[in-house]
Amino acid sequence: METAKLRGIHVPLITPFTADGRLDRAALEKLAHGVLDEGAAGLVALGTTGEPGALDAAEQAAVVGICARVCAERGAALLVGVGGGATRQVAAALQDVTPGATAALTLVPPFVRPGAAGVLAHFRELTAASPVPLVAYHIPYRTGQALDAETLRELASVPGMAGVKLATGAVDPEVVALLAGELPPHFAVLGGDDVVLPPLLALGAAGGILASAHIATARWVELVDAWQAGDVARARELGHRLSRLAAALFAEPNPTVIKGVLHARGRIPSPAVRLPLLPANAASVSRALDLAVSTG
């Protein structure tokens, strides 16, 4: 299985709904092209930001199909979210990942807290079964399972692992140790906590999977480029502004504020989300809009 290194900004697309709650396929396709036009390296279909648990099977298939077609047309990377906590369940779901996907994004097993050895065994089983490389989604404040740097480096050595989406909520010592250590050349460390992506890039992360990159996509791409070019002054200044924007976009449950901003800018037909989410309040959307304007 060929594993090409993932780099740059990957946008986990929201799922646009019409005012009466139906999937808006045309808006999704337009949004996908829009973020790629601004320099995003790829798309994530059925990430958390896309409300996959609120979509039925036909809607999920439509979302993946649209994203796959756009990525194929544009030569962009496509990651597909594959959920579930039981190893056999996830292994079976991976068999249905759309042909041509760059990788599947799948959680460190949530809720069961299997320990480091169990996490490694889980991913070894999945990579053996998967037709595409995997990116582990490490988000311990949702899964309940923390992993140390040694475990993450061992995960990187598992054949078929393309990277990890790090969303630990902070730049903690384990993250610093991971980025400071030797990793296989194909294994990408991608930031997944939008507010702390700038320091992760400074430490050597290859890019990010960022819901905030729906907004000011080109500036997020510029941030990655600045760090990789060694333009520290520009990267710091831009990183500070983008972190403030990200904080505003996550002031309410994701993706409610992002949808509010996209709707206010005329990029999606409605800010609608599906229960248990509720639309963001006007003050949160207004604050994020102001910061988006000042960020450029």
Residue 3 has pLDDT above 80, yes or no: no
**Mean pLDDT across 16-25:** 96
Residue 83 has pLDDT above 90, yes or no: no
Question: What distance in Å separates the CA atoms of residue 296 and residue 43, rounded to the nearest whole number?
Answer: 22
Residue 2 has pLDDT above 70, yes or no: no
pLDDT in the model for residue 175: 87
Q: Which residues contact 188 (CB under 8 A, 6 or more apart)?
A: 5, 6, 7, 135, 162, 163, 164, 206, 207
Residue 4 has pLDDT above 70, yes or no: no
Question: What distance in Å separates the CA atoms of residue 256 and residue 278, rounded to the nearest whole number?
Answer: 7
pLDDT in the model for residue 170: 85
Strand partners, 165: 137, 190
Question: What distance in Å separates the CA atoms of residue 118 and residue 113, rounded to the nearest whole number?
Answer: 8
Nearest alpha carbon to residue 237 among 294, 277, 192, 175: 294
Contact 278, 57 (CB under 8 A): no
Question: Which residue ranges form the domains of the chain, and what is each CATH number?
Answer: 8-230 (3.20.20.70)
pLDDT in the model for residue 90: 96
Calculate what percentage of the chain has a pLDDT beyond 90: 90
pLDDT in the model for residue 65: 97
pLDDT in tens, 197-247: 999 999 999 999 999 999 999 999 999 999 999 999 999 999 999 999 999
Contact 40, 10 (CB under 8 A): yes
Catalytic center residues: 137, 165
Residue 112 has pLDDT above 80, yes or no: yes
pLDDT, greater one: 242 or 99: 242
pLDDT in the model for residue 180: 84
Residue 141 has pLDDT above 60, yes or no: yes
Does the model's pTM come out above 0.85? yes
pLDDT in the model for residue 207: 97
Average pLDDT, the chain: 95
